[in-house]
Structure 1
Amino acid sequence: MLPWWLRCNIPWGRRLNPANIRALMTAGTLCFVIGLVGFIFSGNSLLLWGMSAAVFTVGEIIYAPGEYMLIDHIAPPGMKASYFSAQSLGWLGAAINPLVSGIVLTSLPPFSLFIILALVIVVAWVLMLKGIRARPWGQPALC
């Protein structure tokens, strides 16, 4: 039996296609930002923390299959392996995250970590939209 979070992922993954990926990834980005803003205002309320985490998780459920479909869609036919390899460099961010988060938490107020994360997510979303519009030289834009 699949865990519940995997069962939640399956319907979202089936709905993603090149025609609606921009809208769904935008919805995922909004879920990330709303969840992070919710964390800022949660204070000591376990209920608000849980609701914010649930909204953030919906963003993760959308992004998990979406990032791979996006890379598959924008990569030229002979370069897909290179694009997926470059995407794996994102794990370096996961390795550096504890250090950067520790520096932020020791030098700034705690809520600033969530603000910084929200800003980074919005910048990543803008770059993702730019990647969707990318096209080979000499070809008209499709989006």
Structure 2
Amino acid sequence: MEIHYLQKLKDNSTIFQSKMRGVSEKEIKEFEKQTKVKFPKSYKEYLYLAGDYDGDLMMLRGYSGMRDLERPKFRKFIESYKKKAGVNIKRPHWDFTGEEDGFYFFYLDENTEDPKIYSCEWAFGEVEIESYYDLTFSEFINR
């Protein structure tokens, strides 16, 4: 895969002592087929470079590898927390990492190769969804 957006990640595939492991383009296509989602180019690059194991890429909270995200157990986990918190995102989106108090996502209907990132967090009965510092996915990862 030709890398356009995540050259910095490609050039720095070892962070601290951990080397990232990506997945093949074929696996990415199968993942899209399984999830019925057409991923933007920058996210496909991420999966290609670090989709199996993201090493010590500390900026991603919770689960973020393709193998984690495709597990029904993870999807149920994040959906149950979203439901419990009262999260109701009507636009098509992809949660690319998550944990018990929130997740990061991008919208799938923006028709861009490098979508803006949003955070969704909840606490004390309040749900907050906002653009994550106006960063695109590649800017988020490259930070």
With the length of structure 1 as denominator, give the TM-score of the two structures.
0.30
User: Larger relative contact order (C-alpha < 8 A, sep ≥ 6)?
Assistant: 1
Structure having the larger proportion of residues in strand: 2
Q: Which has the larger radius of gyration?
A: 1
